[in-house]
Amino acid sequence: MELKDKAVLITGSKRIGAVVATELARLGTDIALTCHTSVQETTSTANNIQSLGRRAVVIQADLSQSADCTRAVEETVEKLGRLDVLINMASIYRSKPFDELTEEDWNTQLTVDLRAAFLCAHAAVPHLRRAGEGRIINFSDWIARSGRPRYLGYLPYYVAKAGIIALTEALALELASDQILVNTVAPGPIVAPTGTSKEEYRQVEQITPLGRWGGEIEVAKTIVALLQNDYVTGETIRVDGGRHLK
């Protein structure tokens, strides 16, 4: 896919999402960004995109609500005139012991991480078809891609991210005849979670074969490669510095 003048919707626009959006704008795309509460940070990203000469739209949405998933897509098309790429990055990352988990914890995690990706894709597909081709990129996790959980306290998160891989494969098959390619990025040690200690940071470096955290730009480069490729679909690509090898 040629990226210049294409319209991209990114759900979840903090940290990694902000860098992805900026890099895609550098390649000539217009960007719509959704946010739930991080309006100030998202507006700052939009301003950076506009400084690059591209259009940027900020859409405040609660993607746990199905109507907001549809509205995010429709508002993108209304303001940017088209939709060519959907990047489902919205996610919740929190730890909670199994014995303390509630039904609400389960529902919230799967609603935001998995259901919203499906609903946004379902709303986006008619517009991608209209464009003649399209791309959907979902976000999983290197652990889910490796096929087994490694850390206690992330049960709903792991299940949701494993579900994303299945969603990607099924969507890729459903949409192949429309030339809509669907893939997943599964990040590993890209940026440290808030609250990571210096010792924890160093431990991750030591157990990652490449010996370092990747940084947001490595995810952005992977997304660009998937968008520009016309023959890869149904794949889940780990961006983890070889972490899965240990």
Alpha helices in the chain (DSSP H): 16-26, 39-51, 66-80, 103-110, 116-131, 142-145, 155-175, 198-207, 216-228
For residue range 205-233, list pLDDT tens digits in order.
999 999 999 999 999 999 999 999 999 99
| Structure confidence at residue 190 as a pLDDT band (50, 70, 90) | very high
| Structure confidence at residue 86 as a pLDDT band (50, 70, 90) | very high
Whether the per-residue pLDDT at 194 is higher than 90: the answer is no
Helix or strand or coil: residue 168?
helix
| Structure confidence at residue 38 as a pLDDT band (50, 70, 90) | confident
- What's the average model confidence in pLDDT over 197-212? 95
Whether the per-residue pLDDT at 14 is higher than 90: the answer is no
- What's the average model confidence in pLDDT over 135-156? 96
Tell me the DSSP string of 18-58. HHHHHHHHHTT-EEEEEESS-HHHHHHHHHHHHHTT--EEE
Average pLDDT, the chain: 96
pLDDT of the residue at 13:
82
| Structure confidence at residue 246 as a pLDDT band (50, 70, 90) | confident
What angle is formed at CA 226 by the lines to CA 220 and CA 227, rounded to 5 degrees? 90
Token pair in block for residue 105? 């914890």
Q: What global pTM score does this model have? A: 0.96
- What's the average model confidence in pLDDT over 102-128? 98
Whether the per-residue pLDDT at 119 is higher than 90: the answer is yes
Q: Please give the positions annotated as active site.
A: 157
Whether the per-residue pLDDT at 193 is higher than 90: the answer is no
Residue 160 near residue 110, CB atoms below 8 Å: yes
Q: Point out which residues pair with 137 in neighbouring strands.
A: 87, 183
- What's the average model confidence in pLDDT over 53-67? 97
For residue range 169-185, list pLDDT tens digits in order.
999 999 999 999 999 99
